[in-house]
Homo-oligomer: A and B are copies of this chain.
Amino acid sequence: MKKYDYIADQLYQRIINNEFNETQKIPTEDQLINEYNVSRNTIRSAIKILTKMGLLYPVQGSGLFIKPPQKPDTVYLSSTQGVTADHDGKTIVNQLIDFKLLEADEALAKRMLCQIGTPIYYIIRLRIVDSIPYAVEYTYYNKEIVPYMGHEIVEGSIFDYLKNDLKLSFGFADKYISAAKLNVYDSQLLQLKEGDPSIVIEDNVHLSNGVLFNSSKIIYNYQLANFYMVAQ
């Protein structure tokens, strides 16, 4: 494991365990260098991770300040992960609506940045959190990169499968966020009314070598979904 990832994990634990309750500051860079016996850049890389997550902010000349907790039940946007990780302690059910293997036609090939005829999995899922419909998800996966998809995977966490079993290494995800009126079909799945609002996130996820392997459109229940991010 990378040193800065390890240190970020450690500091994360120490922060949520309220070790720095009194001061609401973590130790200075110099102190951390001595505690963990690493170079300054390594400490700074770890701190950058926590800063990006919104856990703390650095103030030049003063120190590393812990931020008060954000609003509860919000989903952190700046990760290539799906939504699962952000709902610890809640019951998540992924109801499979449709699941097929297609061959890319011209439009799909353009979207998936692949050749016409490439095999593509198409999956529609209804994601249910604590028994309430949370989102409808329309997803394409390039079968040349994800060679197998079974019902048992699709009803669990696809991302865990890709990461742990296929050992895929995610690079970046381009995200587009907008709002739209629900159509009849999605409104029924989400147990809302046609024309009700929804948040729509279109996601194009690339491997760390830049290859696009997943394109999805997720339609969220506007009464439940609330997203969080930090801009710097």
Q: Which residues of A contact B (CB under 8 A)?
A: 41, 51, 54, 57, 59-60, 62, 65, 70-71, 74, 77-80, 171-181, 195-199, 206, 208-210, 220, 222, 225-232
- A223 CB to nearest B CB, Å: 9
Copies in the complex: 2
CB neighbours (8 Å) of A51 from chain B are: 172
Instruction: Tell me how far the C-beta of A155 lies from the nearest C-beta in chain B, rounded to whole angstroms.
Output: 25
* Contact across chains for B222 and A172 when beta carbons are under 8 A apart: no
Closest to A229 in B: B175
List 10 A-B pairs, minimum CB-CB distance, nearest first. Answer: A197-B197, A179-B222, A177-B227, A179-B197, A179-B199, A173-B231, A179-B179, A178-B226, A78-B231, A175-B229
- B222 and A180 form a contact (CB under 8 A): yes
**Can you list 28 A-B pairs, Cβ within 8 angstroms, ordered by A?**
A41-B41, A54-B174, A57-B206, A59-B208, A59-B210, A60-B208, A74-B176, A77-B177, A77-B229, A78-B231, A79-B231, A80-B231, A172-B230, A173-B230, A174-B229, A175-B228, A175-B229, A175-B230, A175-B231, A176-B226, A176-B227, A177-B177, A177-B227, A178-B227, A179-B220, A179-B225, A180-B222, A196-B197
Are A232 and B180 touching (Cβ within 8 A)? Answer: no
- The residues of B that contact A229 with a CB separation of less than 8 Å are 77-78, 174-175, 177, 229
Minimum C-beta distance from A162 to chain B (A): 15
